[in-house]
Amino acid sequence: MSVAAVEPATAAGETLLKVENVSLSFGGVRAIRDVSFDIRRGEIRAIIGPNGAGKTSMLNVINGFYHPQAGRITYKGATRRRMRPHQAAAQGVARTFQNVALFKGMTTLDNILTGRTLRMHKSFFWQLWRYGPALNEEIEHRKYCEEIIDFLEIERIRKEPVGRLPYGLQKRVELGRALAMQPDLLLLDEPMAGMNLEEKEDMSRFILDVNAEFGTTIALIEHDIGVVMDLSDRIVVLDYGNKIADGKPDEVRSDQKVIDAYLGVVH
């Protein structure tokens, strides 16, 4: 794939997020067992592993939707037992979802504008009148959202309700909504699942552009190993909730444990 040629622009910065000894279980099911890894500012970090390895749960822990039973999370230098969803969002963690989680009844534009919620500060009182400060604010954010729409090439569907859009476009709108938050850390949960080759290439390009142009740190889960190897700077491999490998794509590729996990060697 041609995107492989793009050199990661800002790899190997300071540590943005550090996950230490995190364990998470639901009743008797242990989804994550004592996993530690870090994400450095500006890199593209992939989390891979077979189905049920705990990848999505890991993202849920990072942005505070699940609360781990043990472990610590250090984000932007502050160490916490757990994140809270609102806190994570306020501190610049944005997210897309495995099964598209758009606001189906709203238009593309409204979905992306909703991503700006935390940056809109005009009070309820001003919202009641709309004309005046609230509308000015609205217009200012509309401009920003239009830039994202432009960047993702979704101008035509600006005013379409997203429920009616095809899957590939929905994924793109969802990325747009996450970008509207101007995140420092962008979590992408299988951004290319169910896409054809062309759509995957588009999405890969967007991810690399976001990383290069906005300097956004990205953590992504993806099953297409080819794409992962090409895109990411470093890879964490999870299997049955355990971390089995961590390193640069080449190192991970040749790791025996990773090969075993993917080929299904009996544990």
Question: What does the binding site for another protein look like in residue numbers (CB under 8 A)?
Answer: 26-27, 56, 60, 63, 65, 85-86, 88-90, 94-95, 97-99, 101-106, 110, 113-115, 117-118, 120, 122, 124, 127-131, 134-135, 138-139, 142-143, 146, 177, 181
* Rounded Cα–Cα distance for residues 228 and 208 (Å): 12
Nearest distance, CB of residue 109 and another protein, angstroms: 9
Nearest distance, CB of residue 251 and another protein, angstroms: 31
* Rounded Cα–Cα distance for residues 233 and 40 (Å): 10
State which residue, 175 or 245, has the beta carbon closest to another protein.
Answer: 175
State which residue, 47 or 244, has the beta carbon closest to another protein.
Answer: 47
Spell out the residues 6+ positions from residue 163 whose beta carbon is closer than 8 angstroms to its own: 102, 104, 105
Nearest distance, CB of residue 178 and another protein, angstroms: 8
Q: Which helix (H) or strand (E) holds 171?
A: helix 167-180
Pairing of strands 15-26, 29-40: antiparallel
Nearest distance, CB of residue 130 and another protein, angstroms: 4
Nearest distance, CB of residue 91 and another protein, angstroms: 10
State which residue, 13 or 105, has the beta carbon closest to another protein.
Answer: 105
Cβ proximity of 91 and 46 under 8 Å:
no
Sheet bearing 70-75, strands edge to edge: 29-40, 15-26, 70-75, 78-80
State which residue, 33 or 142, has the beta carbon closest to another protein.
Answer: 142
